[in-house]
Chains A and B, each alone.
Chain A
Amino acid sequence: MKSYLSIRNLNVRVKNGPVILRSVSLDVAAGQVHGLVGESGAGKSMIGKAVLGTLPRALEVTGGEIWLDGTDLLTLPPAERRRRIGATAALIPQDPLTALNPSKRIGPQITRRLVDILGWTKAEAQARALELLDEVHIPDPVRVMRSYPHELSGGMRQRILIASAFAAEPKLIIADEPTTALDVTVQKQILRLINEMQTRHGTALLFVTHDLGVVSKVCDTLSVLYAGKVVEDARMHRFFMRPIHPYSRALLAATPTYTDPTGSLTPVPETVISAVEEEVRLHDVRAGQ
């Protein structure tokens, strides 16, 4: 299967500081959902940001390749890279509170993307935005378009951000823990919505989360990230049947739905992990043949 996004040996570090991502490689096939799991601080968000070119200024890419639709983004000049990313990729962010500009109405925030990226007229963009809001099941879209972000609930804002992410028909969407900031009841609806939109639009989705329960429901493949390193890269079925890396096993054991319902995450010593890493690699090489 052809990869739409292919990250090869990506290294990211804090300028003059610690390494954040160590030789990360992962693939998202066209139209597929790839999960990216790992504990807090593992570097999941930084992978997404490296792809979208929005890394914090304190961080730098020190090596590797990011292939998006057959082009290595890191070799493009900045303006061209921005244009390319804008036209093909989009983000569903973690925190719907800070992801909308508080001083602008919702309407222009959605239509702006269409005008910027696709060169549509304002009227065309407006019509499309209304359609999109309808598609993400927002009641009274006309009114919502005229609202300011603070007038809407978190779930509502996340729906708007989903609509906005799909607006310009990107081929890749990166969803960075899109439900963690929401109420449990709303989480399910949003998850279902993302799944529904992804299927309908045939978009490749990189789904960042630390919830394996969610991964098992929506993803086709997944990578496990531990301390800036991909420690397991597998298809869903294999992962849940035979997790190899000790961290993956700990993760699975901590997910109530799969083993005991009270499960808690047991810390894994670094030494055990490096010992098993080699084994993982060999296994995946064999599995690939």
Chain B
Amino acid sequence: MRDARGDVKRPIGLRLWLSGGWLTLLVLAAVSAPLIAPKDPLMQDLFLGRMPPFWMAGAEPGYLLGTDSLGRDVLSRILYGARLALIVALVAGTLTCIIGATLGLMAGYYRGWTDRVISRFVDIWMAFPPVLFAILLIAVLGPGLMSIIIAIVVIDWTRFARVIRAEAMSQGAMDYVASAQVAGRTRFGTMLTEILPNVLPTIVALLTLEMGIAVIVEAILSFVNLSISTDSPTWGGMIAEGRTSVHQAWWVLVFPLITLFLTVLSFSQLGEGLKDRFDPVLR
């Protein structure tokens, strides 16, 4: 028998609160970085190199999380780094999602030759080793924001395509889809109004996961110096620099690493949380 769940709003879970909270904070910080950053992230001061964070002996007032070997403020650099990380996450994630999900939906729902063409294309695409692919691409395009975004899209759209294809296929076999068609709806219309809402939770989960992945990829590429020009602060670049002086100044490495970790974790947790929340059957 039916129960009363339909009308009761379920409280938002702790997982959604924490991950959503962290990401909101990060977005705010990124947007207002020029206002709230205590220092200029690029300003060097060799007399203030490797200053420890505020609670340690010998800390320099005004440099809350300490400075790196060139005397640049770690906190300010993390704040400015968030701008780049989030831009990459947003743009690359969205583009990957749109391309991959559209192709996957069409392949899974239309089947037939549409599916054969798209699936074959995905298979061939996936035969390339992804990291090699990315490095090659950036070597050709030259380092820069655009190249990173293109590299991420080019590598990751296949994941969306495959997962969404499988999902659309299983939804497409259900009777409610046939009923919609018996009611005189076109196949395209059925795809949009019947199938899409049911694969949406999966799309959302994949999208946020993809944003986390984009943050990592950007960090890795910065780490190997293939990202944006070296003087705009990036988390990956900071981690790369911090690694060389980890024994003298661990904070240069650890703070950006924690930020990166929390951000990627939040993206994936947000995705899972949203999926549970929007899936009508699990809800």
Q: Does A235 contact B (CB under 8 A)?
A: no
A-binding segment of B63-71, B175-183, B216-224: B175-183
For the complex, what is the distance from the CA of A112 to the CA of B194, rounded to whole Å? 12
Q: Does A52 contact B (CB under 8 A)?
A: yes
**What B residues does A151 contact at CB under 8 A?**
2-3, 5-6
**What B residues does A79 contact at CB under 8 A?**
186
**What A residues does B185 contact at CB under 8 A?**
82, 116
Q: Does A264 contact B (CB under 8 A)?
A: no
Instruction: Find out whether the CB atom of A116 lies under 8 angstroms from the CB atom of B281.
Output: no
Q: Which residues in chain B, 160-208, are within 8 Å of chain A measured between CB atoms?
A: 173-176, 178-186, 194, 197-198, 200
The total of Cβ contacts below 8 Å across the A-B interface reads 84
Q: Does B277 contact A (CB under 8 A)?
A: no
Instruction: Find out whether the CB atom of B1 lies under 8 angstroms from the CB atom of A52.
Output: no
**What B residues does A103 contact at CB under 8 A?**
197-198, 200, 280
Q: Chain A 69-90, CB within 8 Å of chain B: the 1/0 string?
A: 0000000000100110111011
Instruction: Find out whether the CB atom of B2 lies under 8 angstroms from the CB atom of A98.
Output: no
Q: Does B159 contact A (CB under 8 A)?
A: no
Q: Does B112 contact A (CB under 8 A)?
A: yes
Instruction: Find out whether the CB atom of B194 lies under 8 angstroms from the CB atom of A52.
Output: no
Instruction: Find out whether the CB atom of A104 lies under 8 angstroms from the CB atom of B178.
Output: no
**What B residues does A146 contact at CB under 8 A?**
6-7
Instruction: Find out whether the CB atom of A101 lies under 8 angstroms from the CB atom of B2.
Output: no
**What A residues does B176 contact at CB under 8 A?**
98-101, 109
Q: Does A38 contact B (CB under 8 A)?
A: no
Q: Does A148 contact B (CB under 8 A)?
A: yes
For the complex, what is the distance from the CA of A211 to the CA of B2, rounded to whole Å? 29
Q: Does A93 contact B (CB under 8 A)?
A: yes
Q: Does B111 contact A (CB under 8 A)?
A: yes
For the complex, what is the distance from the CA of A148 to the CA of B176, rounded to whole Å? 14
**What B residues does A101 contact at CB under 8 A?**
176, 180, 194, 197-198
Q: Does A64 contact B (CB under 8 A)?
A: no
For the complex, what is the distance from the CA of A95 to the CA of B181, rounded to whole Å? 17
Q: Does A152 contact B (CB under 8 A)?
A: yes
Instruction: Find out whether the CB atom of B194 lies under 8 angstroms from the CB atom of A117.
Output: no
Q: Does A121 contact B (CB under 8 A)?
A: no
Q: Which residue of A lies closest to B185 (CB)?
A: A116
Instruction: Find out whether the CB atom of A91 lies under 8 angstroms from the CB atom of B178.
Output: yes
For the complex, what is the distance from the CA of A151 to the CA of B47, rounded to whole Å? 68
* Interface CB pairs A-B, < 8 A, 6: A52-B182, A85-B184, A98-B176, A102-B281, A112-B183, A156-B1
In the A-B complex, the 5 residue pairs with the smallest Cβ-Cβ separation, listed nearest first, are: A86-B184, A99-B175, A54-B178, A98-B174, A103-B197
